[in-house]
Amino acid sequence: MKFAVMTTSSSLFNLICQCFRDDTIECCRFLDDVALSRAIYREDYHAILVDAATGIDATRAVFARRACYGDRRAPLIVIGAFADRDSIERAFEVGADDVVLSPIDQGELEVRTYQALRRFQSPPPLQSEDRAELGPYRLDRRTGTVLVDEREIRLTVREFAIAWLLFSRAGEYVSRRQIAGAIWSSTEDIVGRTLEQHIYKLRKKLGLNGASGVQLRTMYAHGYRVELCDGKADADAILPAIAQVEQTADAIAAITEVVDIARHEANLECVGQTTRPSRTLDVHAKDSEAARSAQPWGQYAAMWHSGTAHFVHPVAGFTARGAESPGSDSSSALTSFSIPAALLGSNGRRR
């Protein structure tokens, strides 16, 4: 057997280990309730012993989780000093199955632990605290089932745990921090998005929109709450809004269709128009900067090879003659023109 012990005191943990000297019992120590709750979810512990000095609060994960997961329960024994009778009763109210007062007697702790184990080994009859009812909804924590108008709704383990946490506190707001600690043994900052997705799925599967007389209400900084409502009245108020949204969507779709048709017709008109022919530039396939800079030289190169070019440098004043064609008068065949300065470097040379 494995016992989970939550305490920050090494001396208390050693004392508990001495109480159970049986080799078949293994005591595992945890420093906080979050680590303990995560371990309980992964492994089965036969008993849980909690140091009262760590704090007794129903919102803490180790206690809140036990209220949601009925199939993973083990006897929980609180050990330590209590100020008065009210504090002892509070420990039982938050989920303790037994209390052992300090100074601790090893024999008493051993006997009370084994007695609690015997009580849990024989399943007790179904009690009213294992059922939750609200309107047409029936939740059974022992079997993990939800009935809506006698129709069973299939939920995952975590979805049922959230539903039980909400329906067992119907009419009360359950904070995101409480849900995160009880269901995931973590903080709301870490499981915020996951929590919202589970709430959305739960609202959709169970139909908690008020149509069946029960709605799931969300309030900022307060959390979530299931409550009875007038389903017909809520439906009458929601349907006009839904109809208005549908009309708006239809209008937007119609406008979009008209715009698309007009745009298509405009494109056809542009294609049918006669455009002014333009000179095609023989630019490199990659359209590089070098290719664009070299392109204007093409016209002069053509004239040079035809023998009709007579280049005059605009800065240095030199003359370059093209190739003379056989049998032609070179003086009349050559044409003089200036090379654009944009095609020359700042030092008078070609780029």
Q: Which of 162, 144, 161 is nearest to 152 (CA)?
A: 144
Place of tokens 């190169």: 301
Beta bridge partners of 37: none
pLDDT greater than 90 at residue 207: yes
The pLDDT confidence band at residue 265, using thresholds 50, 70 and 90, is low
Q: At 93, which helix (H) or strand (E)?
A: helix 85-93
Higher-pLDDT residue of 244 and 54 is 54
pLDDT band at 138 (very low <50, low <70, confident <90, very high): very high
Measure the CA angle with vertex 106, ends 12 and 51; round to 5°. Answer: 35
Residue 84: CB atoms within 10 Å: 8
What pLDDT is stored for residue 313 in this prediction? 47
**Nearest residue to 116 (alpha-carbon basis) of 47, 162, 195, 214:** 47
What pLDDT does 21 receive? 75
The mean predicted confidence, pLDDT, of the chain is 74
**Residue 208's pLDDT is what?**
94
Residue 283: pLDDT band with limits 50, 70, 90: very low
Instruction: Give this prediction's pTM.
Output: 0.43
Mean pLDDT computed over 124-140 = 79
- 340 half-sphere exposure, CB direction, 13 A CA radius: 10
Alpha-carbon gap, residue 14 to 11, rounded angstroms? 5
Mutual angle of helices 61-68 and 157-167, in 10-degree steps: 100
| Distance of alpha carbon 235 from alpha carbon 227, whole angstroms | 16
Q: Could you tell me which of 55, 70, 51 has the C-alpha nearest to residue 144?
A: 70
Q: Which helix (H) or strand (E) element contains residue 226? A: strand 223-228
The answer to whether 219 touches 225, Cβ cutoff 8 Å, is yes
